[in-house]
Amino acid sequence: MSETTTTNTTASATTTEALRERALKLDAADQLADRRELFALDDGVYLDGNSLGALPAHVPARVQDVLTRQWGELRIRSWEESGWWTAPERIGDRIAPLVGAAAGQIVVGDSTSVNVFKAVVAAARIAGEGRDEILVDATTFPTDGYIAASAARLTGHRIVPVAPADVPAALGPRTAVVLLNQVDYRSGRLHDLPGLTAAVHAAGAVAVWDLCHSAGALPVGLDEHGVDLAVGCTYKYLNGGPGSPAYLYVAERHQAAFDSPLPGWNSHADPFGMTPDYAPADGSARGRVGTPDIVSMLTLEAALDAWDGVEVDAVRAKSLALTDFFLECVEAYVPAGRVTSVTPAAHAERGSQVALRCDNAESVMRRLIERGVVGDLRRPDVLRFGFTPLYVGFADAERAARVLAEVLAETAGA
């Protein structure tokens, strides 16, 4: 269905029953099915985990302990006794295997935007003199573009917007940094991180990747593919909670040269020395800035327990099976000509969401949500459905497609 409209009429009762039965069989065989019980879910279908992941059910009790015992009773002692001070690196090491990184290369804290700023400026400094161009994904999430433009002004570079597929041809001796998203937030297209990173390195430039729509949904392989720096959020597929802190990956080979544009006291080699001159800490800690947001950070740490024992390859396999099945159900159920998939059909080019273009998208999504199928949209005409393999099942995918077909049939000609 990629880039083509559906041709089938509304599915027959026989087709519907067959797809429902297949969904039940697929759910029964799903090795990740038991993970669903770890999350606080209602009887609807939640397909917006690519914007905000569902709440792991054990998190409220853990947060209550942070508030009442660690803060309420231990108070300032919790910086040491409860491990508050080491949380940014400790939690970074828990995220590391989910993105294919060895320990000691990820620090948790600040927002994705702040970390993009740190990474782009530091990458420009690593690239050195004589290189004055920052290539940026022309279709990137707007904030990444805004931040990169500000970083360019600060460092005296110029921004060069380019489609990810055109990056190899756009690289040259003046390229300092390339900032790309691994998965496009609108369409769910998965870009070629290994190939593009290799091309960036062949040109002598530094690769910075935004992993917001890939971490927790598919293997990333930061170390394996030689990525220089990367950033990502934790409130989507990692289920860290609204506004949960982001993370910054600095490859070990770059840590000594990582010159942060935000040298706060938390990243000082002797943070309690309170000296007027700045001396950066060793390792990933030099990516820290100010006092970390402890409550949100420890909420994230608790949420990551849902990943214990989970292999990212299994998550990827289920993600592809779910999105395949959803597209098949949409093909079977949706009235002819009502939607167009803008998500690639090829597995090598697909993240963990399905984006469907349709008329009256805002109204359609509102009706879907009213019926318990929660996705979101990107104006003017794209419906987005995010598939989080830890808690979304095949019966969810079938139901979502069926309800979508009902809504579209009711709004025909509207």
For each of the chain's 414 residues, which pLDDT tens digit applies?
444 333 344 578 899 999 999 999 999 999 999 999 999 999 999 999 999 999 999 999 999 999 999 999 999 999 999 999 999 999 999 999 999 999 999 999 999 999 999 999 999 999 999 999 999 999 889 999 999 999 999 999 999 999 999 999 999 999 999 999 999 999 999 999 999 999 999 999 999 999 999 999 999 999 999 999 999 999 999 999 999 999 999 999 999 999 999 999 999 999 999 999 999 999 999 999 999 999 999 999 999 999 999 999 999 999 999 999 999 999 999 988 899 999 999 999 999 999 999 999 999 999 999 999 999 999 999 999 999 999 999 999 999 999 999 999 988 755
According to the model, what pLDDT value does residue 161 have? 97
* 8-state DSSP, 66: I
C-alpha dihedral, 53 to 55 to 56 to 60, nearest 10°: 150
Map residue 340 onto helix, strand or coil: strand
Cα angle value 215/53/91 (rounded, 5°):
55
CA distance 112 to 243: 10
- pLDDT reported for residue 5: 38
Contact predicate 387/218, CB 8 Å: no
**Hey, what amino acid is at 205?**
A
Return the H-helix or E-strand segment holding 16. helix 13-29
Between CA 168 and CA 174 the distance in angstroms is 13
For residues 145 and 143, what is the distance between their CA atoms, to the nearest angstrom?
5
Residue type, 399: R
Q: Which two tokens stand for residue 301?
A: 């740490």
Give the residue among 239, 220, 152, 125 at the shortest CA–CA distance from 181. 220
Q: What is the architecture, at CATH level 2, of domain 60-307?
A: 3-Layer(aba) Sandwich (3.40)
How many CB atoms are located within 10 Å of the residue 165 CB? 11
Question: Shortest CA distance to 171 belongs to which of 190, 144, 198, 152?
Answer: 198
First to last CA, the chain: 24
pLDDT number for residue 413: 58
Query: Which of helix, strand or coil describes residue 364?
Result: helix
In the chain, list all ranges with CATH 3.90.1150.10: 13-30+311-410
Tokens 């943070």 belong to residue: 271
Catalytic residues: 141, 210, 235-236, 384
Q: Is the pTM of this model over 0.85?
A: yes
Checking DSSP bridges between strand 229-232 and strand 247-250, what pairing results, if any? antiparallel
Q: Architecture of 13-30+311-410 per CATH?
A: Alpha-Beta Complex (3.90)
The beta strands (E) that lie in 24-75 are given as: 45-46
Reported as type and span, the H/E element at residue 385 is strand 382-386
Cis omega (within 30 of 0) for bond into 380: yes
Both structure tokens of 313: 């390859």
Which residues belong to CATH 3.40.640.10 in the chain? 60-307
**Predicted pLDDT of residue 6:** 38
Evaluate whether 101 touches 94 at the Cβ level (below 8 Å). no
Per-residue pLDDT, 3: 41
| CA 232 – CA 252 distance, rounded (Å) | 18
